[in-house]
Structure 1
């Protein structure tokens, strides 16, 4: 990894893929076909892109039972425990409707209402992601969403991975469809003969899925347009290079475009970590992917002191941040921009990916400056409550009418004045 000093124009090397003109045109064509032809388009694209010829898209109870029989029982228990942790954490985020009443009898408040429905996209292809199922479904469950629909691309055998089905069943998903890509996003947004539309779509996917989510946003809500994974480690002399290197590589193996960064005031730690990354790369099963990510999007920044290191992290606004310093909580108090913060040497990033409870769907590409992890609020709506008493109305009617006329809206003014006692 390249070791460098901090510069005023420092920015995290990120791979931002907004798609090509050809990709955007392809996605628009797919969406239009699904809107026009419904299920027929889904079957056509599933055969074309996934090499799977299906008679039915909906996963049956028999398929779920078969998945349990194929899946290692001890891993099923791990998924159940992880689900409990995730559910418990998100329960603490749940907000209730609230109101207050002024002395003049005015009642104001906010009504919390869960969305009617949500769609969850789970990637397929070369890997299965049961953790994505839990992280997207369980906050919606806690929020009280009644209808949760999961879509995922099938393999050429027309099946979904056993782990994905087991996780979906544990999370309580009752509608699961074997369809992926931009066509799945279109089906969730606009509906087909088989799949009824939803109000919000969450979950990661490839560039075609990301572009499709961007296209349908406004007709439905979406969680975010996620970029490649990112990790920044903020460390001082007390940290251990072998552990830092392992954590940097835990993200680098995700994707050739993943970003792994160490920020430290210690030249010694920087040099030893760089050597350790090279040593550990050599034995990694996904070495080719991780090495390319480290070479193109990895960096070690050496700062003058710990405060400058904190400033650098806030400038980077990383998806994942590990704080491995003395007095770590004191450092954390000064962190303003990070998707998730892992504190201390025993809080390695994968703990958050799979098991601890906080959501692993996090803001990327610097969007931690203004956005948050997926949470229960993402699956709820807020409605304002306004109930004026007669006393409050009489005290304020002339003020409101004057404000309306200031903006040239006479009918607004008359609407309140129509209630004045003559």
Structure 2
């Protein structure tokens, strides 16, 4: 009996434990922190052996295969010890994908991947049996065990890709690549780029790679490296023969001489970046033979993603916008780009080696005040201190929102778009976004 050890008892860890057990593995789950009650109950109910607040080497190093949570870096001692012994350390995506014959659409990128994944799933589910998993929703492994959908849309982070060996999606999407998480890639951008492109490493010409042809980083990589997959680029500026492009207000998608035209006028999500997300989702849908009418209607009635440029409330003619999901500079760039009124900007958190230069023009043009919400705000103060009249620091969301309320005048917007990770003051970006919304509702 093969021994499967799982490091990290979150959504992906517990899902993998259940699938592993069902497939005849001897399973052991180990978490360095405390395991949440809801996950503990599942492990106990299914008689899976587990431990918390420690990693017992004797029970881990004898594994045949190890699935580690994407949040655990490779530099951690227990992972190093496993790799030194030659034990395979893989991600949930790699483990679960070997137990399904489903058609897999895998979406990665620095920004836009959640919106693109949710939008793609929203279109496909109108006509296909399809699950949504990966970095989002219920664990992929658990869905393979309980539903085994005929199709999956997977939102996949670079950390999950790093743990993939044989994973081979039928359709891969790369939304864009900008510097992010460089702390996990020895501060080398090229390592992070290679990680994103590993999504296509096992693809053949029967498979497809959909990507943003306006992204210099992506174009450069494709030029220098051999990619086996059939390429389907999308662009807002160029005319594309095979793939998608924008012609005035229409998205034109061509695949094997089969063309469809989608008007963008009524797309539910605003902003240029969302036209790109719509292009990616429509290209996938066209590949999977979804009717044009269905694609169009789905793009028009899609509700959007929580914590991504989410309009919360208007109070005294001031619009409060929750963009807590903006955990890097490029995401905040899109947020500030889409602001059409003077903005009070709440920013800050765990800086992942950010370069704020690309935001300067927007800050000069649109931002009237900055509220720094982080444990360490030095870099923000140094970057933006001279650009705005008002810049203040706080470590409490409720206080940040109260200060914003005092500064903002009728016609202004208050934007939470942190450009940083959230782990210094919050559990995660969802917790940060919910606290923001609660604070706004309590004004």
TM-score, reference length from structure 1: 0.29
> Looking at both structures, which has the greater relative contact order when contacts are Cα pairs under 8 Å and sequence separation is at least 6?
1
Higher helix share: 1
TM-score, reference length from structure 2: 0.28
Larger radius of gyration: 1
